[in-house]
Structure 1
Amino acid sequence: MSETISPTFTFVKGGVFYFSRRIPRELLRHYSSPRIAFSLRTRSARVAEARARKAADQLDDYWFALRSQDAELPGKHMLRFGNSGPSGLGTATTVNSSAFVLLSEAVEIYLQQKGKGRPDTFRRAAERACGYVIDACGDKHLDVYTKADANAFRDALISRGLAGSSLTRVFGTVRAVTNFAASEQGLSLSNPFAGVYYDRTAGVSDRNSIPKEALGIIQRKCREADDDLRWLVAMVSDTGMRLAEAAGLTKEDIVLQDDGSLFARVCPHPWRRLKTKGSERDVPLEGEARWAAERVLEQQSPSQFAFPRYNSKGATNANAASAALNKWIKEHGLEGYTMHGFRHSMRDRLRAVECPADVVDQIGGWQTDGVGHGYGSGYPLDVLRKWMKAVT
């Protein structure tokens, strides 16, 4: 074949062959554009012809699947359809082409494989992030999205008022979904949602470490109120635990030792996962954290949870706890401080008594750099307790 004649369904731009095919009129309602066009990534007419024919055949199969949903075909009732996408259109799993995957289908592929055993929040995050893309750019095949679509998606998120940290999280989820689905389907993809510029600091407030004076005020208020909400605040204030870690504790996780000391066993539960493997640890309970633990254990509640209020629906609701407790802290004139500030504060307090950095990391469940730190079982509890007593 002559290299100067474009094969069927192709055109040449800058010496590179592109696939181009008009979408049948009766199927236009399923698409956001009247034509499908993408690079075949070759300058050879022979290679372009083979790739274009394969793409055309796959499109014919896919369009047959779309048409079969409206036509009265023999055996139509035996076709297997997956979950409906945002348009309400079921996907015929028996004939769907792997080379043409809609974003809504990519979400299901991702969740079917990666979502096993994960909490509902994992599914909601993937569906929400990709739903934002579909709202802004339409439900397109993965290889049809462009950098212009990614930029439009970014602008739509900014217009929603999302902070830079939230944009980073949403873009990360979209990239994970598209990359995984493309890999699973054998689709070569240059992900347009990678490398999108935005101000990562926009709208992000500093999580200030809570100073000693403010810490004392909050802890005194906890003693005065003496209820389950304030026990949770006190527990976090003198351990540096993440709020979700403390809120998801059971009474059995608060362990009384033979010498009368207490520690909290932070471990994964079906209702509350841990952020990292290093988050699993034992934390000595000293100062106000010990007072809070004792008050929890004194209660005659039939619930297994230390803080039943935030574990009533099968999952620890740390977001609700954060909203309520941050509001309470603000009401006491401590503007600019949040529950997460206790975690920053604990690290500062341990630094102030010259606690070794790897001990600090073990107490807080932070990742310690270096291969050597992965060996052994860490410091014994009595060593950790010595440093916790030094700061409480």
Structure 2
Amino acid sequence: MSPNQKRKWTSAKKRAVEILIEQRGDKALQDITRADAVAYADFWEGRTIAEGISPSSANKNISHIGGMIRAVDKRLKLGLDHVFGGTRLEGGRDGNRSPFTVEHIRSVILAPGALDGLNDEAKDVVYIVMETGCRPSEIVNLNKSRIKLGAEIPFIRVEAEGRLLKTEHSERDIPLVGMALDAMKRQAGFPRYFDNGDNLSATLMKHSRKAKLLPKVSEDTPLKKRPKYGVYSFRHSLKDRLKAVECPEELTDELIGHATGKPKYGDGYGLQLKAKYLQSIALAPG
């Protein structure tokens, strides 16, 4: 876990506990009841209605408390009731992003001058995310040893090194093609955003709104059905683009860093086959 990951991990849980104490009092673990858990969930549901907080954010706070109680109970064998079970709010996956269409990427995001307001590192992260489907945090935390430009097929290696990855399936090798290869040749790393992905996300979203790079959403669209766009929209877009060229689903999941839901045999797909499919959907010649 990196220093920034540890700080965020700790502060989020501390804040969840502080709010629980504010709502239900400072109690010993064994004195926390189902009524306390339901009241805490109701508090967060009220905030989603009154303040527009997403169910996903509310559920994180509920899960922080339940998870910590389970962890302490397991370690110390206290025999506690897991009173927070089943208290998460419905609709907690509303944070998922909708994909950009290829037409929107080409005509709006890649339009001449569209990214000129960004610094060089942020701009190149956009190109790499666009062509590889990597998470922005995976890119900005690369070091020189994991950028393999001299390989027969240039690639980047995403692996845990001093920090936690999103999932166990996140470790993977990803070929560089098109604009991603050009961008990576310009950057030996991303010191401005290393272990500081939140700053990058804020920079990209601020520019996207200012430059009107996000697809327009009709105000008549019901709130729950409105598509949500952000940097992660490039990941979902890449998945759609790979599907359009009949890339095997397991290979797509391996590129994206998702679980396949199937037992893994062997070392997965090689760089050559990965590069073949990524090159076939490249948004610029590589």
Query: Common fold, TM-score beyond 0.5?
Result: yes
Distance 1:348 1:257, change over 3 A: same
Q: What does residue 321 of structure 1 align with?
A: 200
Q: What does residue 12 of structure 2 align with?
A: 125
The partner residue of 2:56 within 132, 150, 165 is 165
The answer to whether the 8 A contact 2:62-2:88 is kept is no
**Sequence identity (%):** 33
Q: For residue 177 of structure 1, report the CA deviation from its aligned partner.
A: 1.0
Write the distance in 1 (CA, Å) between the matches of 2:166 and 2:95.
22
Specify the code of the residue in structure 2 equivalent to 1:124.
S
Aligned length: 258
Write the distance in 2 (CA, Å) between the matches of 1:320 and 1:187.
41
- 1:138 aligned onto 2:30: no
Query: Whose Rg is larger?
Result: 1
- 1:241 aligned onto 2:134: yes
Q: Could you tell me which runs of 5 or more consecutive residues in structure 1 were left unpaired when the two chains were aligned.
A: 1-117, 298-305
Q: Secondary structure at the match of 1:308?
A: coil
- 1:361 aligned onto 2:253: yes
The answer to whether the 8 A contact 2:135-2:235 is kept is yes
- Cα distance per residue 1:247-268 (max 9 Å; x no partner): 1112332212354x42111111
Specify the code of the residue in structure 2 equivalent to 1:128.
R
Alignment of 1:211-230 (within 5 A): 211-216=101-106, 217-220=108-111, 221-222=114-115, 227-230=120-123
The answer to whether the 8 A contact 1:243-1:318 is kept is yes
Specify the code of the residue in structure 1 equivalent to 2:39.
A
The answer to whether the 8 A contact 2:242-2:277 is kept is yes
Q: What does residue 385 of structure 1 align with?
A: 275
The answer to whether the 8 A contact 1:219-1:234 is kept is no
Distance 1:309 1:159, change over 3 A: farther
Q: What does residue 41 of structure 1 align with?
A: none
- Cα distance per residue 1:166-198 (max 9 Å; x no partner): 122222221111122223333222222111263
The answer to whether the 8 A contact 2:127-2:183 is kept is yes
Q: For residue 210 of structure 1, report the CA deviation from its aligned partner.
A: 0.7
Q: For residue 273 of structure 1, report the CA deviation from its aligned partner.
A: 2.1
- 1:281 aligned onto 2:164: no
* Greater CA drift, 234-243 or 118-127: 118-127
Write the distance in 1 (CA, Å) between the matches of 2:18 and 2:176.
43
The answer to whether the 8 A contact 2:73-2:80 is kept is yes
Write the distance in 1 (CA, Å) between the matches of 2:169 and 2:276.
21
Q: Could you tell me which runs of 5 or more consecutive residues in structure 2 were left unpaired when the two chains were aligned.
A: 215-227
- Cα distance per residue 1:253-312 (max 9 Å; x no partner): 2212354x4211111121x42112211111111111112111114xxxxxxxx111112x
Alignment of 1:1-392 (within 5 A): 119-160=6-47, 161=51, 162-196=53-87, 198-201=89-92, 204=94, 207-216=97-106, 217-220=108-111, 221-222=114-115, 227-259=120-152, 261-270=153-162, 272-297=163-188, 306-311=189-194, 316-335=195-214, 336-371=228-263, 374-392=264-282
Q: Secondary structure at the match of 1:278?
A: coil
Write the distance in 2 (CA, Å) between the matches of 1:276 and 1:201.
19
Q: Secondary structure at the match of 1:282?
A: strand
Write the distance in 1 (CA, Å) between the matches of 2:10 and 2:58.
18
TM-score by length of 2: 0.82
TM-score by length of 1: 0.61
Q: For residue 341 of structure 1, report the CA deviation from its aligned partner.
A: 0.3
Write the distance in 2 (CA, Å) between the matches of 1:255 and 1:197.
43
Write the distance in 2 (CA, Å) between the matches of 1:218 and 1:266.
26
Write the distance in 1 (CA, Å) between the matches of 2:156 and 2:56.
31
The answer to whether the 8 A contact 1:222-1:231 is kept is no
Q: Secondary structure at the match of 1:122?
A: helix
Specify the code of the residue in structure 2 equivalent to 1:338.
G
